[in-house]
Every structure is written in C-alpha cells, then in structure tokens.
Amino acid sequence: MDKNLLIVVIIFAFFSCQKEKKCNVGLSPFGVVVKFISSESTLDTIEAKKYIDIEKVYKKYVDNKNLTSYQVWKNKLEFTNNLSKDKKFTNQFKFHNYEFSEVIKNKKASVTFSSKNINSNIKLINYFLELQDDKWIIVDITYTKANK
C-alpha cells in the first residue's frame, strides 16, 4: 500500500510540474515594461533588448536617412540621456505620476500609463506586447498628447 501511495505522489508531482512549466511565462507584461523602462534609463541596451522587438517598435520612425530601427532607437536613447544632463529634465520615469493598467488577451497584452498631471503634455503612454517563446515582448509604443 505504501508503495502505491508513493507512486501516486510521484505521478501527481510530475504532472503538476509539467503543468506549471507550460503555464510559466516569466514576468507579467507590466513587469516587462518596468524592466524595459529601467534598463533604457540607465542606457543598459543589452538588458533593454531582452524586452523589446526593436524592429517592430521603431520601423515606423525610419526615414530616408538610411537609419535602421536599431539606430533610431539608439539615437532616441542618446537624446534622452543628453537631455537629462540639464537639471530641468530627467530620464528617470516617475511612476508615481501615473495610473497604470494592464490588459491581457490570449497572447497579446497592453500596459497603459495615464498621467495624473492635468498639465502634462503626454496624457497616455501605451505599451503593446506579444507573448513570444513564453516571454512578453514589447512590439509597439504609442504616446497620446494632450489636446491644447
């Protein structure tokens, strides 16, 4: 009887682990966005590239200057980093100034930051993500400016 119980426990543990493994998707979409923002603000491009499909996000900004999506992204990072050297600006994302929401539908998700500041120039920042190889990846970022 003890041998049968042991076999049942082993089988149960095996299938429980298998089920968990299939369901494990690592970070939530919000967690991915936070890690992405953090790594960008410290210019850690190696870390940031883990959370974004640069080609999908930045191809809309490629123009006739023969820049690649990656070069557009690097230029944006350099610009915001240089801008942050002025005491009026910072490249640190102030999460406390935003309400956020996360919506997950199947293999797609969105994370939205809504500004609490009524005088903010940018009212919404939307990150769109897709589940790829059991990891959430940012595939688009949009900004909604205030109507002034």
**pLDDT tens digits for range 100-109:** 999 999 999 9
pTM, rounded to two decimals: 0.76
Task: Give the pLDDT score at 65.
Answer: 72
The 10s digit of each residue's pLDDT in 75-113 is: 888 888 887 776 666 667 788 889 999 999 999 999 999
pLDDT digits (tens, 9 = 90+) for 1-32: 445 544 544 555 555 544 444 444 468 999 99
Q: 39: phi > 0 → left, psi -120 to 50 → alpha, else beta; which?
A: alpha
Please state the rounded mean pLDDT for residues 45-51: 95
Number of H helices, E strands in the chain: 5, 4
3-state secondary structure 105-142: ECCEEEEEEEECCCCCCEEEEEEEEEEECCEEEEEEEE
